[in-house]
Amino acid sequence: MGSQSDWTTMKHAAETLTALGVPHEVRIVSAHRTPQRLVEYATTARDRGLKVVIAGAGGAAHLPGMAASMTPLPVFGVPVESHALKGMDSLLSIVQMPGGVPVGTLAIGKAGAINAALLAGSVIALMDPQVAEALDAWRARQTAAVAEAPVDEPA
């Protein structure tokens, strides 16, 4: 994530990865304030055994695109909701990448963080049967939680 304040959103990705049994790391890597940290992180990601990068950022949200430009790994960007433009600035910064530097862009905020983790889990599940089972169980629980008929809310 680009800053400590992004943790409010990005912790949902970490929690989801944990629930799926996907080993992961959590780091603050700012494209603007810690550019050398970004270079080191992104250029060594594959050699350190990472398979996917989830990058959450708000405002100008350059982190996902910059990371994608420095690693061959899939990068999933999570637009963090900003105060000024409610995350639309982040979304547009992440989704509007030039051809040749792909970033898979998810929804703004918590839903995007959870879905980024589920998408990363889907990639990992291609190589890891235990993660595939956990992902199947996640989906089964989600399906089972949906009622067949509506009920009135208590007054």
Q: Residue 83: give the domain boundaries.
A: 4-134
Q: Is 33 annotated as a binding residue?
A: yes
Q: Which residues of 54-79 are buried (b: 16+ CB within 10 A; e: fewer)?
A: bbbbbbebbbbbbbbebbeebbbbbb
Does residue 139 lie within any of the structural domains? Answer: no
- What pLDDT score was predicted for residue 69? 97
Q: Is 3 annotated as a binding residue?
A: yes
- What pLDDT score was predicted for residue 83? 87
Does residue 151 lie within any of the structural domains? Answer: no
- Number of structural domains, the chain? 1
Does residue 148 lie within any of the structural domains? Answer: no
Q: Write a three-state SS string for 68-120.
A: HHHCCCCEEEEEECCCCCCCHHHHHHHHCCCCCCCCEECCCCHHHHHHHHHHH
Does residue 96 lie within any of the structural domains? Answer: yes
Please name every residue paired with 77 in a beta bridge, in sequence order, or none if there are none: 55, 105
The CATH number given to whatever domain includes residue 18 is 3.40.50.1970
With 0.85 as the threshold, say if the pTM is over it: yes
Residue with tokens 């889990």: 121
Does residue 154 lie within any of the structural domains? Answer: no
Contact residues for 79 (Cβ-Cβ < 8 A; gap 6+)? 56, 57, 58, 61, 87, 90, 91, 93, 94, 105, 106, 107, 108, 109, 112
Does residue 77 lie within any of the structural domains? Answer: yes
Q: Is 6 annotated as a binding residue?
A: yes
Does residue 146 lie within any of the structural domains? Answer: no
Task: Render each residue's pLDDT in the chain as its tens digit; 155 residues.
Answer: 999 999 999 999 999 999 999 999 999 999 999 999 999 999 999 999 999 999 999 999 999 999 999 999 999 999 999 888 999 999 999 999 999 999 999 999 999 999 999 999 999 999 999 999 999 999 999 999 999 999 998 87
Does residue 70 lie within any of the structural domains? Answer: yes
